[in-house]
Structure 1
Amino acid sequence: MFTGIIQATGKITRLEITEKHAKLSISAAEIAKQNLPLGASVAVNGICLTVTSWQNNEFTVDVMPETMKRTNLGKLTNGSLVNLEPSLSLNGKLDGHLVAGHVDTTAEIISRSENENAIELRFKVPHKYDPYLVEKGSVAIDGISLTVTMAQNDEFGVSLIPYTIANTTLAHYHVHDQVNLEMDMIGRYAVKQIQAWKKEF
């Protein structure tokens, strides 16, 4: 379990990728090895992955076919920056929102604009996920806990504050780039329950 509060960014140093599988090595000097021992969970661009090895300041993770199908990992290259968050301790602070690290889908950036000290991004989302996005609700974008500023007609927007701009990868993205989305966990179950009630009446 994660919070969507990014602890560091890392750089892809080795990328072995096939159509359905990948092995990534990530340089992450800001995250100590003791915080990510072998077998530990880490969110890489919002994807819950398992640390399989460490060498100097680099750790390695394996990525399975289902993950490759649902995420933007296939578009990464050597040198790409990724957002990193170790798993949440039960006695830790929940500063963002509950994030499972199970990416639902990808979304395309359709507009990017600057508004004083903020960057505003708008995304196109597959229609089946539109019900889970509500204004002032939460969404995890490449692992970052963000507040939805608008949501309508299979589109939604977010606004990046200066801290997010400086400490995550999202400010470097451009129109047509793909991001990983994880819908709000509470919202997901609420929608499913409402749909079940509708079938009964």
Structure 2
Amino acid sequence: MFTGIIEKMAKVVAIEQENTNYHFTLEVDFAKELKIDQSMAHDGCCLTVVKLDYDKNQYVVTAMKETMDKTNLSTWQVGTEVNVERSMKMDGRFDGHIVQGHVDQIA
């Protein structure tokens, strides 16, 4: 769950396509606090951290075709700045809203 409040801007530093999946490498100053399998909102879309490079403050998330088709992730390029938010802690403040970040449809 997320609050919907942007925590930081992460920068796309690499994009790798593997069949219909896209692996995005992003850089953000709190990357050293992340863990594998952690959920994060990226421009409102929930993606899972699959790889970490603490030395470079970078992490990797993967988006499948359905996600690429129904979000703005297909517009991301190297250098794109992305709104990010780590998942909400149970003892944290609800300063925004309770949102999941799961995309069902596009309008």
Please confirm whether the aligned pair reaches a TM-score higher than 0.5, indicating the same fold: yes
CA 1:32/1:73 → structure 2, altered by over 3 Å: closer, same or farther? closer
SS at match of 2:69: helix
Equivalent position of 1:84 in the other structure:
84
Aligned length: 105
CA 1:76/1:18 → structure 2, altered by over 3 Å: closer, same or farther? farther
* Partner Cα separation in structure 2 for residue 75 and residue 94 of structure 1: 30
Residue 103 of structure 1, CA deviation: 2.4
SS at match of 2:103: coil
After superposition, the C-alpha distances for 1:15-41 in whole angstroms (9 at most, x for unaligned) are 123683210000101x2422x211111
Partner letter of residue 43 of structure 1?
A
Equivalent position of 1:33 in the other structure:
32
Equivalent position of 1:48 in the other structure:
46
Equivalent position of 2:2 in the other structure:
2
Normalized per residue, the structure richer in helix is 1
Structure 1: tracts of 5 or more residues without a match: 107-125, 127-201
CA 1:32/1:58 → structure 2, altered by over 3 Å: closer, same or farther? closer
Equivalent position of 1:58 in the other structure:
58
Partner letter of residue 60 of structure 2?
T
Partner letter of residue 95 of structure 1?
D
Is 1:10–1:26's contact at 8 Å kept on the other side of the alignment?
Answer: yes
* 4+ residue runs over 4 A deviation: none
After superposition, the C-alpha distances for 1:40-74 in whole angstroms (9 at most, x for unaligned) are 11111111111111112010011112211211111
* Partner Cα separation in structure 2 for residue 76 and residue 19 of structure 1: 17
What CA RMSD, in Å, does the superposition of the two structures yield over aligned residues?
1.6
Which of these two proteins has the greater Rg computed from alpha carbons? 1
SS at match of 1:79: coil
Give the 5 Å matches for 1:10-159: 10-17=10-17, 20-29=20-29, 31-34=30-33, 36-55=34-53, 56-106=56-106, 126=107
Structure 2: tracts of 5 or more residues without a match: none
Is 1:45–1:82's contact at 8 Å kept on the other side of the alignment?
Answer: yes
Partner letter of residue 33 of structure 1?
K
Is 1:20–1:68's contact at 8 Å kept on the other side of the alignment?
Answer: no
* Partner Cα separation in structure 2 for residue 76 and residue 105 of structure 1: 19
Residue 105 of structure 1, CA deviation: 4.4
The structure with higher relative contact order (CA 8 Å, sep 6+) is: 2
